[in-house]
Amino acid sequence: MVQPLTIILFGSAGSGKGTQGEFLMKAFRLEKVEAGELVRAKAKEDSPFGRHVKEVHETGKYLSDEEISQLVEEKIVSVPADRGLLIDGYPRRVGQATRLEEMLARAGRTNVKALAIAVGEDELKRRLLNRSVCVNGHILIGRDFTKCPIDGAAVSVRDYDQSEDAIMRRIRFYREEVLPAIDHFRAKGWVVDINGAQPVEAVRDEIFEKLGISQ
């Protein structure tokens, strides 16, 4: 039996990784493991840990590495062994990368690729200064929307996309914290580098070609 694929998806805010993740989930029938979604779901649970996660989330703080890793592992072990995974939003630093490597080993998932979608900082800044988001999480290019064209939901510009300073903080975090996590996986031979500065379809085609997917 062929081991199902696990894809760890990396890309700075504005890199288009969310769109590429949708393509990958359809192509491989992957189960999504998205850190932000796991946090929001846990925050709705009426349990001691759920209430703790809600408090941390609502005050704009971050869960500890151990706490976010617990959520991720709970999701991973809940997915049937014959189903592939798309892991997004985790790991965000080297310590988390080490934890994820251990989780995947415990789950018997050995067919792993880490896609690193790279876009230059000037292009990232341009993209982020021209985007908005609906309350259901759909990313929209442009800031003139009053309703989401996808589902009709309300649209806003997130605080961290409103100013160049806020955007640069996010880009610096990716450079200083996330890139070393990618390098951790690079040393294992897992990393597939992708040029994210191309049009959406060209990025998709490069990913599919490097993963050996026929379209």
pLDDT mean over 101-111: 97
Q: How far is it, in rounded angstroms, from Cα 121 to Cα 171?
A: 7
pTM to 2 decimals?
0.85
The domain 6-120+176-211 is placed in CATH, from the list 3.40.50.12780, 1.10.3720.10, 3.40.50.300, 3.10.250.10, at 3.40.50.300
> Binding site membership for AMP: which residues?
40, 61-63, 89-92, 96, 158, 170
Query: Where does the pLDDT of residue 59 fall: very low under 50, low under 70, confident under 90, or very high at 90 and above?
Result: confident
Q: Name the binding residues.
A: 14-19, 40, 61-63, 89-92, 96, 131, 158, 170, 198
Residue positions forming the annotated binding site for ATP = 14-19, 131, 198
Alpha carbon separation from 173 to 5, 118, 169, 177 (Å, rounded): 28, 14, 6, 6
Give pLDDT tens digits for 177-198: 999 999 999 999 999 999 999 9
Q: How far apart are CA 76 and CA 107, in angstroms?
A: 8
